[in-house]
Amino acid sequence: MHDSNEPRPHTGRRRNEAARRAILDAALELLADADGAPVSVETIARAAGVGKQTLYRWWPSKGAVLLDALTDRAAQDVPAPDTGDLREDLRELAIATFEASQRRPSAPALRTLVREAARDTHLAELMRVFTQSRRAAVRAVLERGRERGELPADRDLDLLVDQFYGFFWYRFLLGHAPLDAAAAEALTESLLG
């Protein structure tokens, strides 16, 4: 038996940081270039100049690598505007979200990632965690507004959050209509009446 509280000191060769970076960089770049098309593990490993096993030694699945590649670069901090005005906060959040969805390489990479998540339940679960904080940010803005009386007390906030992100993902994934500042403005006005 091994006492896990007092682990044996590490010996042997250490993890190659350059390989980790090369994998994440290659994954993000391929993810972005694919823009929806699947990205294979073989391709990532080859592009990173790395063996497949090195990849599977540090990540449990392809999905985990892809998500890591995205979150590693994508701005992790979610904007949390609090100007004291609901309309202003929501507009700011919408503009920031929409604007971020146009940036390379994160945006096309995210599109590919969602496509992959449609088939990969493990990745789908990770994505849920990833999006949760963004949903929470919108909800917090709405809650503050409601406390200030800018929203009826009985207004269903979950409905509003789903309207916000439903609209966003719909346009982001289909790409049939713009996600620009004007759209952000119009969505905000529509949600708050």
Partner DNA sequence: GTGTTACCGAGACCGGTAGTCTCGTCAAGA
Partner DNA sequence: TCTTGACGAGACTACCGGTCTCGGTAACAC
Site residues for a second copy, window 118-137 (CB under 8 A)? 118-119, 121, 128
Q: Using the rule CB under 8 A, give the single segment among 9-17, 45-53, 71-79, 171-179 that binds a second copy.
A: 171-179
Site residues for DNA, window 142-181 (CB under 7 A)? none
Residue 167 CB, shortest distance to a second copy, in Å, is 4
Q: Which sign, positive or negative, has the C-alpha torsion 147, 150, 154, 156?
A: negative
168 binds, among DNA, a second copy, none (CB under 5 to 8 A by kind): a second copy
Say which DSSP state 177 is in: S
Q: Using the rule CB under 7 A, give the single segment among 60-68, 85-93, 163-171, 174-182 that binds DNA.
A: 60-68
Q: How many helices (H) and strands (E) does the chain have?
A: 9, 0
Which residues neighbour 142 within 8 Å (Cβ) at sequence distance 6 or greater?
86, 90, 151, 157, 160, 161
DSSP string over 59-90: -SSHHHHHHHHHHHHS--PPP----S-HHHHH
Indicate the residue among 113 and 191 with the shorter CB distance to DNA.
113
Helices (H), 35-61: 41-48, 52-58
Tokens of 143: 């809650």
115: buried, middle or exposed (CB in 10 Å: 19+, 13-18, 0-12)?
A: middle
Residue 18 parent element (H or E): helix 17-34
* 139 is a contact residue toward a second copy (CB under 8 A): no
193 binds, among a second copy, DNA, none (CB under 5 to 8 A by kind): a second copy
Residue 63 CB, shortest distance to DNA, in Å, is 7
136 binds, among DNA, a second copy, none (CB under 5 to 8 A by kind): none
The binding site for DNA (CB under 7 A) comprises: 9-16, 19-20, 38-43, 49-54, 56-58, 61-63, 122
**Residue numbers at the binding site for a second copy (CB under 8 A):** 36-38, 114-116, 118-119, 121, 128, 156, 158-160, 162-163, 165-171, 174, 177, 183, 186-187, 190-191, 193
